[in-house]
Amino acid sequence: MRPGQRTALRDAALGVAIALGQAPLGLWPVALAGLALALWRMASAPTPGAAFRRGWLIGAGHFAFALSWIVQPFFVDPWRHGWMAPFAILGIAFGLGLFWGAAGWLARRLGGGAVTVALAWSGAELARGLVLTGFPWALPGHIWTETPLVQTAALIGANGLTAATLLALAAPLAWGRRGLAVPALVLAVAGGWSWHRLSLPEPAAPGGVVRLVQPDIAQSLKWDPDEARANFDILLALSADAPADLIVWPETAVPFLLNEGQGAALAMAAVAGGTPLAAGIQRVEGDLGWNSLAVIGPGGSITPVFDKIHLVPFGEYVPFGDWAYETFGLRAFAAQTGAAYAAGTTRNAVALSPRTGLALPVICYEAIFPEELIAAPRADWLLQITNDAWFGTLTGPYQHLAQARLRAVELGLPLVRVANTGVSLVTDARGRTVTDLHGAPALLPLGARGTLDVSLPGPLPATPYARIGDWPLALLLLAGLVLAGLVRLRRDGA
């Protein structure tokens, strides 16, 4: 191999090392070493173009490994869609890697060292969660999700964890031994805050009991019309005789379109025996359809509670599909012609049952966007319904779970997570798994079929992050980059 090719492979391998810190591996010491080396690689690049290439390749390696689960949906029906898998993983790896490359380019353009790279990199990750509907998955700050230090997210959020980590690693690279004081200070503050938060007494619980239903239906069978009745019967059987104030089924659990007071809705109401049953359904009006959460009440009544707002690009809708229909008459991609889901408009805290307080509904992929949950009305608990069967069984479901836990920590709210194939669980407002009515951990692992009956934990007061979000961080990062630019101008002028 040529020297340039060997260097490119080493940079990509460095990105893989960084990805080893993500769930479920959680090798954060390896990730920290990789992040430090990546900062040094970009900071020592001779030109902005070289810094871009290094950041881009490191990012591509990171995202190719961390997001390897992205190929799983194409193998649900491999003979039809399997050929797309290589293009999907390469596209997302090198596409998202552009954010890391841009950070390296900007930092070297400003003439800064490792600290400037850390500022630009943190800003790029913040932007990655917003640009083109955003995809804030596998952030460097997510390496802390399985450690006590994750409690720091209640102060600064996931993006703040990323910035604190990168700046702490950059300081010794920039200032040598004097810079070691920065990571020591960051560790002391994060550790002290985490210890304090974990030692606080538990808040008062509302007293309501929720049954989580995990049917464990394979994705290849989920929409098979010949299996629809059998799948539905599994859900009904798991919902019978629930000692609960609310029963919850996962995302798109119902394999039929419901008619109020008839058929499947009536069967759901009968098995619930008067207990409200919140279920993931598909709701249709005319040519529009929604991925929704609804409550089935006595007599098979149906109350639409929430329509999913943040849809998955190309999975649940095609960007500009409605525009293509209105402009060119192309129907195949338009939500308004029944070819995709339509987006909901409002996220409210809702009472799903008289005894369970106010829930903030989140459907699947929406759990990775903290800014959208911060903007919603304050609730008593988070409810995530999801179908992680799309994500395979290796890394995707665990990374998704880690992000849902992180939302609980950031907001100071308990989390009820109900998944088709797992992992379903209930956490307290600090992201810790609670116990069910039998004293066992309130968690159903991946690939298990069963139920959990759990008393809802109580919420904590709104956290600092829940009050202020990422705006202070964005302003600080921008100020730091502006300062680096002014220093560069002054140096060049001298």
Query: What residues act catalytically?
Result: 251, 308, 364
Q: Which residues neighbour 395 within 8 Å (Cβ) at sequence distance 6 or greater?
A: 22, 23, 24, 25, 66, 68, 69
Rounded Cα distance, 180 and 188, in Å: 12
Q: Which residue has the tokens 């797309």?
A: 84
Rounded Cα distance, 354 and 245, in Å: 8
Neighbouring C-beta atoms of residue 45, cutoff 10 Å? 20
Q: How far is CA 232 from the centre of its chain?
A: 28
Rounded Cα distance, 183 and 194, in Å: 16
Rounded Cα distance, 144 and 210, in Å: 29
Rounded Cα distance, 74 and 80, in Å: 8
What is the gyration radius of the CA atoms in the chain, in angstroms?
24
With residue 399 as reference, give the H or E element that holds it: helix 396-411
With residue 170 as reference, give the H or E element that holds it: helix 153-175
Q: Helices in 176-308 by DSSP H: which ranges? A: 181-199, 219-222, 228-239, 263-272
